[in-house]
Structure 1
Amino acid sequence: MVKIRTIVSAALVLFMVLVLGVGQVEAAKVKQPLTYTPEQLEQIQDYATDLQAMRDRLPELGQLVQQQDWTFTRNFIRGPLGELRVKMQNLSRTLLPDAQPAARQLAKNVFNDLIALDLAAQNSKAAVAQREYSAALKSFDSFLALVPEAARPQPKPSEPVVAPDKSSFLKELLAPQSRQEIEPDEAEPSAVEETPEAEAAEPMAE
């Protein structure tokens, strides 16, 4: 009887040791941070460089909004920023899994802000256009902050904003490139609903 108890006790001790050992290994696996490979960082840097170049040009869009130049505001969104959504989506997919949800949401925010800005420009709503421009700028900066530091390009040094070269981005708009149209996101149609003022203004325009 004593031998049986000894064997059972030894088996329980061995079992506890195994359980604790497995638990520590699993905990170590969970705590171990994922890292980027050099190849991933190189790819991220390529995407981030293109996006930073677009971010550096956003003050030009801000100046157009401030001047209430609605025609060229809409042209700018479709020209220099025409591939913004695709590039943000591409970069989002290359980030670590825990960073991807936030990146996708911020990319969606930027796109929806630009849709709302385009609609405000179409309806000559200066206050709404300025608000949506500021929102897009903030979301864009938050998106770029998710880029790992090792692959993050340096922003262009701040300098006085000069008048946008309208002929330049009109050429970009007319260039035969693969672009996505600036249209409402099907998942969130409410993001671009027209205000009652806009609906009331339409019969007058006719």
Structure 2
Amino acid sequence: MRRYRSILASILALVMVCLVSCGSPQAATPPAYSPTQLEIVKQYEGNVIKQRDRMDELEQFIVNRDWLNVGTFIHGPLGDLRRDMGYVSRNLSGKTQKTASKTAQDLFVHFETIDAAASAGNYSLAVQNYAEAIQDFDAFLSLIPKA
């Protein structure tokens, strides 16, 4: 009888060890962004949104074929946009960071093309690239975390 009791105690101990080690709750996933990253993103997000809101001014310059102001606007008020978008994209995580960087690059290619179109007085090229720039701008803003 003693022998069965010790074997039974050993089996129960083994079962308990397995249950405790294998039955623990799943580890919680860490937050995607640290508070510092979110703070930096929010700080520069405001600047990026302000510049997005000013894109209507660029559209009016293009529609009015005011080529001098198109170039001035791209190099003036939108001049700090590259820096601000860089700060935001560098503080995003993993795949989002790569996507944001690529989208920002595409946006600036459109700005450069608009500038070149303004220098050449090419209205259709400027309008086409403006529309694509707006799409890239909105795509970039959609990648920014909300919280």
TM band (smaller chain): 0.7 to 0.9
CA deviations on 1:77-132 (whole Å, 9 max, x unpaired) are: 00000111121111100011221110010000000000000000000000100000
1:39 maps to 2:73: no
Q: Distance in 1 between matches of 2:44 and 2:73?
A: 20
- Greater length-normalized contact order (CA 8 Å, ≥ 6 residues apart): 1
Secondary structure, aligned partner of 2:95: coil
- What is the aligned partner in structure 1 of residue 15 from structure 2? none
CA contact (8 A) 1:64 1:70 kept: yes
- What is the aligned partner in structure 2 of residue 113 from structure 1? 110
CA contact (8 A) 2:40 2:87 kept: no
**Structure 2: segments with no counterpart, 5+ residues:** 1-17
Measured after TM superposition, the shift of residue 149 of structure 1 is 1.0
Q: Distance in 1 between matches of 2:144 and 2:47?
A: 13
Measured after TM superposition, the shift of residue 38 of structure 1 is 2.4
Measured after TM superposition, the shift of residue 34 of structure 1 is 4.1
Q: How many residues align?
A: 126
Aligned-partner residue type, residue 79 of structure 1:
G
Q: Name the CA shift for 1:34/1:86 in 2 (closer, same or farther; >3 Å).
A: same
- What is the aligned partner in structure 1 of residue 126 from structure 2? 129
- Listed as ranges, the matches of 1:38-187 within 5 Å are 38-150=35-147
Q: Distance in 2 between matches of 1:42 and 1:145?
A: 17
**Structure 1: segments with no counterpart, 5+ residues:** 1-16, 151-206
Report % sequence identity: 35
Measured after TM superposition, the shift of residue 32 of structure 1 is 3.4
Between stretches 35-44 and 100-109, larger displacement belongs to: 35-44
CA deviations on 1:32-56 (whole Å, 9 max, x unpaired) are: 3642222221111001001011011
Q: Distance in 2 between matches of 1:37 and 1:90?
A: 15
- Indicate the RMSD between aligned Cα atoms, in angstroms: 2.1
Aligned-partner residue type, residue 108 of structure 2:
F
Structure index of larger Rg: 2
CA deviations on 1:111-159 (whole Å, 9 max, x unpaired) are: 0000000000000000100000111111011001111112xxxxxxxxx
CA contact (8 A) 1:106 1:142 kept: yes
Secondary structure, aligned partner of 1:68: coil
Measured after TM superposition, the shift of residue 62 of structure 1 is 0.4
Q: Distance in 2 between matches of 1:115 and 1:36?
A: 32
Q: Distance in 2 between matches of 1:136 and 1:87?
A: 16
